[in-house]
Amino acid sequence: ELALTLIAGPCALESRDMALDVAGELARLGARLKIGVVFKASFDKANRTSGEASRGVGLDAALPIFAEIKEKTGLPITTDVHEAWQCARVAEVVDLLQIPAFLCRQTDLIVAAAKTGRPVNIKKGPFLAPWDMVHAVNKARDADAAGVLVTERGTSFGYNALVADMRALPILKETTGAAVVFDATHAVQQPGGRATSSGGERRFVSTLARAAVAVGVAGLFVETHPDPDAAISDGATQVPLGDLEPMIEELMAFDRLAKNVGQ
Amino acid sequence: ELALTLIAGPCALESRDMALDVAGELARLGARLKIGVVFKASFDKANRTSGEASRGVGLDAALPIFAEIKEKTGLPITTDVHEAWQCARVAEVVDLLQIPAFLCRQTDLIVAAAKTGRPVNIKKGPFLAPWDMVHAVNKARDADAAGVLVTERGTSFGYNALVADMRALPILKETTGAAVVFDATHAVQQPGGRATSSGGERRFVSTLARAAVAVGVAGLFVETHPDPDAAISDGATQVPLGDLEPMIEELMAFDRLAKNVGQ
Amino acid sequence: ELALTLIAGPCALESRDMALDVAGELARLGARLKIGVVFKASFDKANRTSGEASRGVGLDAALPIFAEIKEKTGLPITTDVHEAWQCARVAEVVDLLQIPAFLCRQTDLIVAAAKTGRPVNIKKGPFLAPWDMVHAVNKARDADAAGVLVTERGTSFGYNALVADMRALPILKETTGAAVVFDATHAVQQPGGRATSSGGERRFVSTLARAAVAVGVAGLFVETHPDPDAAISDGATQVPLGDLEPMIEELMAFDRLAKNVGQ
Amino acid sequence: ELALTLIAGPCALESRDMALDVAGELARLGARLKIGVVFKASFDKANRTSGEASRGVGLDAALPIFAEIKEKTGLPITTDVHEAWQCARVAEVVDLLQIPAFLCRQTDLIVAAAKTGRPVNIKKGPFLAPWDMVHAVNKARDADAAGVLVTERGTSFGYNALVADMRALPILKETTGAAVVFDATHAVQQPGGRATSSGGERRFVSTLARAAVAVGVAGLFVETHPDPDAAISDGATQVPLGDLEPMIEELMAFDRLAKNVGQ
| Yes or no, beta carbons of A50 and B129 under 8 Å apart | no
Residue A228's CB is within 10 A of a number of other CB atoms, namely: 21
pLDDT tens series, chain A, 263 aa: 899 999 999 999 999 999 999 999 999 999 999 999 999 999 998 887 787 778 889 999 999 999 999 999 999 999 999 999 999 999 999 999 999 999 999 999 999 999 999 999 999 999 999 999 999 999 999 999 999 999 999 999 999 999 999 999 999 999 999 999 999 999 999 888 655 566 788 999 999 999 999 999 999 999 999 999 899 888 889 999 999 999 999 999 999 999 986 44
Distance from the Cα of B216 to chain A's closest Cα (Å) equals: 22
**Region class of A165: left (phi > 0), else alpha (psi between -120 and 50), else beta:** beta
A127 at interface of C, judged by CB pairs closer than 8 A: no
B257 at interface of C, judged by CB pairs closer than 8 A: yes
Banded model confidence at residue B195, pLDDT cuts 50, 70, 90: low
What is the Cα–Cα distance from A235 to A231, expressed in whole angstroms?
5
Residues of C in contact with D128 (CB under 8 A): 191-192
- Kindly state the average pLDDT of the residues B218-233: 93
DSSP 8-state secondary structure symbol assigned to residue C36: E
Cα dihedral across residues B53, B54, B60, B66: positive or negative: negative
What is the Cα–Cα distance from A120 to B253, expressed in whole angstroms?
52
Who contacts C63 (Cβ-Cβ below 8 Å, separation ≥6)? Answer: C43, C89, C90, C92, C93
- Kindly state the average pLDDT of the residues D114-123: 98
Closest alpha carbon within chain A to C163: A158
Closest alpha carbon within chain A to D169: A207
Run of H or E including C69: helix C59-73
- Kindly state the average pLDDT of the residues D30-57: 90
Residue B177's CB is within 10 A of a number of other CB atoms, namely: 13
Banded model confidence at residue D200, pLDDT cuts 50, 70, 90: confident
DSSP 8-state secondary structure symbol assigned to residue C125: P
In single-letter form, the type of residue at position B129 comes to A
Tell me which of A109-123, C192-206, D13-27 is least confident.
C192-206
Which of these, C129, A133, A152, A107, lies nearest to B191 by C-alpha position? A133
What is the Cα–Cα distance from A131 to C178, expressed in whole angstroms?
37
CB pairs under 8 A between B and D: 13
Closest alpha carbon within chain B to A131: B192
**Among candidates D106, D130, D192 on the partner chain, residue whose Cβ is nearest the Cβ of C47:** D106
Distances (CA, A) of C236 to A141, A216, C11: 54, 45, 11
Contact at 8 Å (CB) between D127 and C127? yes
| Yes or no, beta carbons of D127 and C83 under 8 Å apart | no
Contact at 8 Å (CB) between B235 and B21? no
| Yes or no, beta carbons of C47 and D102 under 8 Å apart | no
Contact at 8 Å (CB) between B189 and B234? yes
Which of these, C148, C109, C152, lies nearest to C130 by C-alpha position? C152
* pLDDT for A260: 85
What is the Cα–Cα distance from B40 to B19, expressed in whole angstroms?
9
- Burial letters for B253-263: b for 16+ Cβ neighbours within 10 Å, e otherwise? ebbebbeebee
What is the Cα–Cα distance from A55 to C33, expressed in whole angstroms?
59
Closest alpha carbon within chain A to D246: A261
* pLDDT for C194: 55
- When scoring D165, D171, D180, D201 by the number of chain A Cβ atoms within 10 A, the one with the most, hence best to mutate, is D165
- When scoring D155, D159, D162 by the number of chain B Cβ atoms within 10 A, the one with the most, hence best to mutate, is D159
What is the Cα–Cα distance from D141 to D133, expressed in whole angstroms?
12
* pLDDT for A263: 44
Run of H or E including D208: helix D205-215
D159 at interface of A, judged by CB pairs closer than 8 A: no
**Among candidates B157, B166, B170 on the partner chain, residue whose Cβ is nearest the Cβ of C166:** B166
| Yes or no, beta carbons of C49 and D132 under 8 Å apart | yes
- Kindly state the average pLDDT of the residues D253-262: 87
A158 at interface of C, judged by CB pairs closer than 8 A: yes
* pLDDT for D53: 77
* pLDDT for C191: 86
Distances (CA, A) of B111 to A46, A56, B251, C194: 11, 17, 34, 39
Q: What is the CA radius of gyration of chain B?
A: 17
Closest alpha carbon within chain C to A160: C158
Residues of C in contact with D111 (CB under 8 A): 51
**Among candidates D51, D103, D156 on the partner chain, residue whose Cβ is nearest the Cβ of C127:** D156
- Kindly state the average pLDDT of the residues C119-138: 97
What is the Cα–Cα distance from D169 to D179, expressed in whole angstroms?
10
Residue B64 has pLDDT above 90, yes or no: yes
Paired sense of beta strands B162-163 and B155-156, if any: antiparallel
Report C:166-195 residues touching B (Cβ under 8 A).
Answer: 166-167, 169-170, 188
Distance from the Cα of B36 to chain C's closest Cα (Å) equals: 22
| Yes or no, beta carbons of A127 and B156 under 8 Å apart | yes
- Burial letters for B116-151: b for 16+ Cβ neighbours within 10 Å, e otherwise? bebbbbbbbbbbbbbbbbbbbbbbbbebebeebbbb
Exposure on the CB side of residue B109, measured as CA atoms within 13 A: 26
- Kindly state the average pLDDT of the residues D85-111: 97
**Among candidates D157, D163, D215 on the partner chain, residue whose Cβ is nearest the Cβ of A211:** D215
Cα dihedral across residues C166, C167, C170, C175: positive or negative: negative
* pLDDT for B263: 44
- When scoring B156, B157, B189, B204 by the number of chain D Cβ atoms within 10 A, the one with the most, hence best to mutate, is B157
What is the Cα–Cα distance from D222 to D206, expressed in whole angstroms?
10
Who contacts B195 (Cβ-Cβ below 8 Å, separation ≥6)? Answer: none
Residues of B in contact with C155 (CB under 8 A): 163
| Yes or no, beta carbons of B159 and D158 under 8 Å apart | yes
| Yes or no, beta carbons of A159 and C159 under 8 Å apart | no
CA triple B83-B86-B87, angle to 5 deg? 100
SS3 letters across D140-176: HHHCCCCCEEEEECCEECCCCCEECCCCHHHHHHHHH
Residues of B in contact with D163 (CB under 8 A): 158
| Yes or no, beta carbons of D156 and C156 under 8 Å apart | yes
Which of these, D245, D254, D243, lies nearest to D212 by C-alpha position? D254
D199 at interface of C, judged by CB pairs closer than 8 A: no
Which of these, D6, D7, D12, lies nearest to D228 by C-alpha position? D12
- When scoring A189, A202, A210, A220 by the number of chain D Cβ atoms within 10 A, the one with the most, hence best to mutate, is A210
- Kindly state the average pLDDT of the residues C21-38: 98
Which of these, B144, B142, B145, lies nearest to B121 by C-alpha position? B145
What is the Cα–Cα distance from A96 to A40, expressed in whole angstroms?
9
Q: Across all residues in chain C, what is the average pLDDT?
A: 94
Distances (CA, A) of A5 to A98, A224, A254, D247: 16, 15, 13, 26
Indicate yes or no: pTM above 0.90.
yes
Burial of A260 (0-12, 13-18, 19+ CB in 10 A): exposed
Distance from the Cα of B213 to chain A's closest Cα (Å) equals: 23
Helix and strand counts by DSSP (H, E) for chain A: 8, 13
Banded model confidence at residue C197, pLDDT cuts 50, 70, 90: low
| Yes or no, beta carbons of D257 and A261 under 8 Å apart | no
Residues of C in contact with D135 (CB under 8 A): 49-51, 192, 196
Residues of A in contact with B155 (CB under 8 A): 156, 159
Residues of C in contact with D131 (CB under 8 A): 192
* pLDDT for C263: 44
Q: Which ipTM did the prediction report?
A: 0.95
Residue C199 has pLDDT above 80, yes or no: no
| Yes or no, beta carbons of A138 and B110 under 8 Å apart | no
* pLDDT for B219: 98
In single-letter form, the type of residue at position C144 comes to D
B46 at interface of A, judged by CB pairs closer than 8 A: yes
